[in-house]
Amino acid sequence: MLIQKKILIGIGGGIAAYKVCEVISTLFQQGAQVRVILTQGAQQFITPLTISTLSRHQAYTDQDFWQPVHTRPLHIELGEWGDLLVIAPLTANTLGKLSHGLADNLLTNTVLASLCPILLAPAMNTEMWEQQTVQQNWQQLQTNPRYHSIGPEAGLLACDRRGTGRMAEPEQIIPSIQSLLYTQGKRDLRGKSILISAGGTREHLDPVRFIGNPSSGKMGIAIAQAAYTRGATVTLVHAPISSELLSALPPVTRIPVVSAQEMHAYLLEAFPQHQWLIMSAAVGDVQPATYSHQKLSKKSLGDRLDLKPVPDILTDLASRKQPGQLLIGFAAQTGDIIQPALEKLQRKQLDVIVANPVDKVDAGFNSDRNQGIFLDSQGRKKTINLCTKLELAHQLLDFIS
């Protein structure tokens, strides 16, 4: 998604500037062309040498901006060059300038000389962030369709205060960059309320043993990231997922569950308030017939485990679907993936299904990439070749729309 994309990064004067080094390095490794502008304040925290080494290109400063012009002005060249501009960390000072259309350095002049989408990652002390004037400036920028944001997060700040103002982590910023490059900044899902399930449910036999599956939840996370970037209101209902993956999520509503029963109960309650449900979770088919509140000894397990079915979430949701609601499912298959998916689409009265080959190399469970075939109730079909799960998520949202 990043190969040969042209990404401008403006670094503001805040301690969070060190995090941007990982962003720059990751973008370069994934094939992007990166140009970086350092404000005067940013140079108090990180050097042009560090940035030029990571980006493999000269780092630009205000000193370059004020040099005699021998060709075209630098801010014009940079503004026309970029496919996307990222400002991280966004300081209160730069925020104020952007909200009032002011330009007194290379970064702010480049903003005004550009037309591409802009991703903002604010970072500052909590008291600064919560100042009325700062919040007014922030809300003013939110009305401009060019500006998109990630963060700030709550947590431990450099001032030893716990509160809102922490810059988003690189794991959150990178998917936002990828999504904005894919959508070119469009918010085509604004006004949509989307419910997404993710991860593999666990059916416990006792407190330490369970029947489960190898789903990591990466596909559901990617769909949530894509839908949020495109303006949707997102609720993610997830079975156990690693904290590392959850930390990459934008600020969507998260509902943690463990078993199919818990997921079933929440989705039935929440479905009427949402227009789309994308069921990417790998829900178990059976559960132990009995549960022991004490750990069972190995000897007491025996050689046979009595099982019973878990609730059929999609079938129950389909029976409650109202006009205007869409129900999207996944069919993880080996071998022939199309016929079982079509049968599931019809049997469970789905609008769209993703036939997902989990026996392919570097696709399916716990992989960063995926492939599949989209099928819908109107007979449409679209094959998606191997790509990142985030790109597949965006193509799925395109197909549903």
- Tell me what percent of the residues of the chain surpass a pLDDT of 70: 100
pLDDT single digits (tens) 220-254: 999 999 999 999 999 999 999 999 999 889 989 99
Judge: domain 6-183, CATH 3.90.110.10: no
Please tell me the predicted confidence (pLDDT) of residue 69: 73
Looking at per-residue pLDDT, the higher value among 302 and 103 belongs to: 103
For residues 67 and 394, give the distance between their C-alpha atoms in angstroms, rounded to a whole number: 43
**Under DSSP, is residue 71 helix (H, G, I), strand (E, B) or coil?**
coil
Is 159 a residue of the active site?
yes
**Residue 151's pLDDT band (cuts 50, 70, 90):** confident
Please tell me the predicted confidence (pLDDT) of residue 70: 67
CATH superfamily of 193-400: CoaB-like (3.40.50.10300)
For residues 220 and 287, give the distance between their C-alpha atoms in angstroms, rounded to a whole number: 23
For residues 59 and 53, give the distance between their C-alpha atoms in angstroms, rounded to a whole number: 9
Please tell me the predicted confidence (pLDDT) of residue 165: 87
Q: What is the mean pLDDT of residues 15-28?
A: 96
Residues 6+ apart with CB under 8 A from 84: 5, 6, 7, 8, 116, 117, 118, 119, 177, 180, 181
Taking Cα atoms as reference points, which of 110, 64, 103, 62 lies closest to residue 86?
110
Please tell me the predicted confidence (pLDDT) of residue 233: 96
Q: What is the mean pLDDT of residues 117-132?
A: 96
Looking at per-residue pLDDT, the higher value among 309 and 70 belongs to: 309
Is the pLDDT assigned to residue 68 strictly greater than 90?
no
Q: What is the mean pLDDT of residues 296-303?
A: 85
Q: What is the mean pLDDT of residues 89-106?
A: 96
For residues 261 and 202, give the distance between their C-alpha atoms in angstroms, rounded to a whole number: 10
CATH 3.40.50.10300 placement within the chain: 193-400
Q: What is the mean pLDDT of residues 30-45?
A: 97
- Cβ neighbourhood burial of 262 (10 Å; 0-12, 13-18, 19+): middle
Please tell me the predicted confidence (pLDDT) of residue 110: 97
CATH 3.40.50.1950 placement within the chain: 6-183
Is the pLDDT assigned to residue 144 strictly greater than 80?
yes
Q: What is the mean pLDDT of residues 191-209?
A: 95
Please tell me the predicted confidence (pLDDT) of residue 177: 97
Please tell me the predicted confidence (pLDDT) of residue 98: 97
Which residue in 21, 116, 159, 387 is the catalytic one?
A: 159
Is the pLDDT assigned to residue 196 strictly greater than 90?
yes
Is the pLDDT assigned to residue 95 strictly greater than 70?
yes
Is the pLDDT assigned to residue 335 strictly greater than 90?
no
